[in-house]
Amino acid sequence: MSTEVALRLSGNFIGGEWLPAASGRTFENRSPADADDLVGVFPESGLEDVEAAVAAARKAYPRWRDTPAPRRAEILYAAGAILTRDKEELARLMTREMGKVLAEARGDVQEAIDMAFLAAGEGRRLFGYTTPSELPNKFAMCVRQPIGVSALVTPWNFPMAIPAWKSMAALIAGNTIVIKPATDTPASVVALARVFEEAGLPPGVFNVVIGSGGEVGDPLVTHDDVKVVSFTGSTDVGRRISAACAPTFKRLHLEMGGKNAILILDDADVDLAVEGAVWGAFGTTGQRCTASSRLLVHEEVVGEFTDKLVARARTLQVGNGLEPGIDVGPLVSERQRETVARYVEIGKREGATLLCGGEKLAAGDLSRGFFFAPTVFGDATPDMRISREEIFGPVTTVIPVESFEEGIRIANSVEYGLSGSVYTRDVDRAFRAMREFETGIFYVNSSTIGAEVHLPFGGIKNTGNGHREAGIAGIEVFTEWKSIYVDFSGRLQRAQIDTHESAE
């Protein structure tokens, strides 16, 4: 596969065909690291394209549903093999369009590979269960069944991993898909569609419609023929999607914001904690919902930790993620960079101490992209906006705490509940923190980022609505349970009314 695949296959993928938008309109997608790098030209789609894609998915659904799950698995295995074969070129394409450094882009593709193989393995499982009936000569069991056409609305920060998390689970369960990728990163989903096409996925099972949230996303999630909606993005948009889906009771999965805390206790390995904080705060340029944006540090070690953190942050190399030796790439857009700059000014006004960074970087080659210096605030308090609101950029905040108990209280004081972490050598406090952090993901002596695909991913509070993705739990979103009773007694038996004696 060539990294120019996005230029060759830049249409919508509907019913197995690559098609322009019905409007004929297009938009350019340029690298956030280098405005001179044109990644591709993509369709600016609308309602007519959504209708065509949903119709194709609806038409393909009965045949795909009735395809034996092990056969569906063979196609996902083939997709995983193609992703493995093309990993390096897909990673380079992703770095060009999203900006994350190449090593991280390889990891993004690897998550898609891992999810393809994990989901394919479920093709010979998809377990239901049997259970004894309360009546004689009666058999009871339950099975999973697919739901129908699934709408996937995916973000730009993990432009292949998250689409793969959702689509692999939906496909192995027997659903068909219409996906709307983020307009900042359509090329990676176009490439994923090309992988499915080569793997032999039947036409109409996986459809891609590229366009804005208002023109594509809104009519897609409210379409009468869409039975499942899975969205990853901001809490504000998720709340709006939830309201839009409520009247028709669509199955809805929401994965939204985070404001994640690392609690660094007085007995922590400070050097290890610094490395975890740097990776958690500045990996993917801080553009992760699991980013370590709050560092709650015990007052006994806060001075040492902060000094080492700032020194380490200043060594990070910022630049184009395709270049060797780069630690931090650009923000995805000028809009996102302006948001980060605005929060830096808010932090200064609130009285936090700017210890390093806090500025746009535009010298030399950096002038062609959306770069921002890794930024650390010190002496912050829990009530500051920079301590409570999701910034989604390379900014982290050090908040001194007096005790383990205060650290837990502050960690749980925000509206989000995605990921958390504690650094300690005390096994008792480690297990207490595991229990008491109000998050869906938790780490001990590690950063708040680094989830693996065979465990459920998701959060509580304003981060999610109770569902998870990845792992076996991801299949729950895309399946319904059906309970089945087979009575071979030859006469009417009434469960919950007949006693064992009268039924004999």
Residues assigned a catalytic role? 255, 289
Which strands sit side by side in the sheet containing 479-487, from one edge to the other? 129-132, 138-146, 479-487
Chain-centroid distance of CA 219 in Å reads 22
Tell me the two tokens of residue 49. 């394209």
CB atoms within 10 A of CB 461: 18
Residues facing 482 on adjacent strands: 143
Tell me the two tokens of residue 139. 């058999």
Query: Are 208 and 160 in contact, with CB atoms under 8 Å apart?
Result: no
Query: Are 420 and 441 in contact, with CB atoms under 8 Å apart?
Result: yes
Chain-centroid distance of CA 433 in Å reads 25
* SS3 assignment, position 2: coil
End-to-end Cα separation, the chain, in angstroms: 67
* SS3 assignment, position 12: strand
Tell me the two tokens of residue 19. 């098609």
* SS3 assignment, position 263: strand
Distance CA 263, CA 444 (A): 10
Tell me the two tokens of residue 182. 């983020």
Distance CA 73, CA 123 (A): 5
Longest dimension (CA), the chain: 88
Count the residues in the chain: 504
Tell me the two tokens of residue 426. 């005390």
* SS3 assignment, position 39: strand
> Which phi and psi angles does 476 have, rounded to 5°?
-60, -35
Cα-based distances in Å from 223 to 80, 363, 430: 31, 47, 47
Tell me the two tokens of residue 81. 């093999």
Query: Are 273 and 305 in contact, with CB atoms under 8 Å apart?
Result: yes
Taking the CA atoms of residue 43, residue 48, residue 51 and residue 54 in that order, the dihedral angle to the nearest 10 degrees is -10
Pairing of strands 371-372, 360-361: antiparallel
